[in-house]
Structure 1
Amino acid sequence: MKLLLDQGLPLSAAALLCDAGINTIHVSEIGMSEAEDADIIQRARNEGRIVATLDADFHTLLALDFSITPSVIRIRIERLRAQALMNLLLIVIAECKEDLERGAAITVEPNRIRIRRLPLVPDV
């Protein structure tokens, strides 16, 4: 499993996740700190990475394009430090591994994890 951490998430979490066995890079490590969300999505798609972000726009972009990749984990918990973010992402990966591998938009809130399979279609 490979992750791409978006701006707003702690850079040091990437190293912690790598130490835990998860191939992880942060957008700032690859010159994408100010990149458009669509470009980050494309980079993740090209490299087979899952995007972890605080930004709701990633799920919106996936829905607008009826994308089946990449999976995106949106974290709706503020001010997570690197260690707490690593612990949270390890839990999400363990609990949602199959969905992440198939393509999913995952929202992580303080008391729940919501999984929507890709492509996202409007609720009827």
Structure 2
Amino acid sequence: MKLLLDMGCPRGAVRPLKEAGFESAHAAELGLEIAEDIRILEAARQGGWTLLTLDADFHAILALSGENSPSVIRVRQEGLRAPELAALLLEVLRRCRQALERGALVSVRSASRLRLRLLPITPHRRG
């Protein structure tokens, strides 16, 4: 599984994810420092990345688009340091990896509080 960390995520989280066996990159490494959300989603889709973000907009864009990729993990805790973010993400991946590989949106409040929705989000699956 490939993990792309959005600009709001600490770059230092990439290394522990790589050490855990995940191909990982920060958006800045891909030249996406000032890219709009749509461009970041397209880069994630084309590259086969699962996107990790603190930004709620990505879930909304995917829900409205009807697309089935890329998977997006939205962390709803701000101020996490790189080691904390990496540890949280590794727990989310342990619990949700199969769904993320198929296409999913995951909203994370803590390691024990998350919400998963499979993609695409269709009218009867919204809400």
Shorter-chain TM-score above 0.5: yes
Q: Quick one: distance in 1 between partners of 2:101 and 2:90?
A: 15
**Normalising to structure 2: TM-score of the pair?**
0.93
Q: Residues 16-69 of structure 1: CA distance to partner in whole angstroms, max 9, x if unpaired?
A: 211221100001111101101111111111111100000000011101210100
Residue matched to 1:49: 49
1:71-90 matches, within 5 Å, as 71-90=71-90
Residue matched to 2:109: 109
Of 46-55 and 10-19, deviating more is 10-19
Secondary structure at the counterpart of residue 13 of structure 1: helix
Secondary structure at the counterpart of residue 67 of structure 1: coil
Structure 1, unaligned runs of 5 or more: none
Q: Residues 80-105 of structure 1: CA distance to partner in whole angstroms, max 9, x if unpaired?
A: 10101110110011100111011001
Q: Quick one: distance in 2 between partners of 1:31 and 1:69?
A: 21
Secondary structure at the counterpart of residue 68 of structure 1: coil
Secondary structure at the counterpart of residue 69 of structure 1: coil
- Following superposition, which runs of at least 4 residues in structure 1 exceed 6 angstroms of deviation? none
Of 87-96 and 11-20, deviating more is 11-20
Q: Quick one: distance in 2 between partners of 1:91 and 1:121?
A: 28
1:121: Cα distance to partner?
2.7
Structure 2, unaligned runs of 5 or more: none
Amino acid in structure 2 at the alignment position of 1:117 = L
Secondary structure at the counterpart of residue 67 of structure 2: coil
Residue matched to 2:68: 68
Secondary structure at the counterpart of residue 92 of structure 2: helix
**Normalising to structure 1: TM-score of the pair?**
0.95
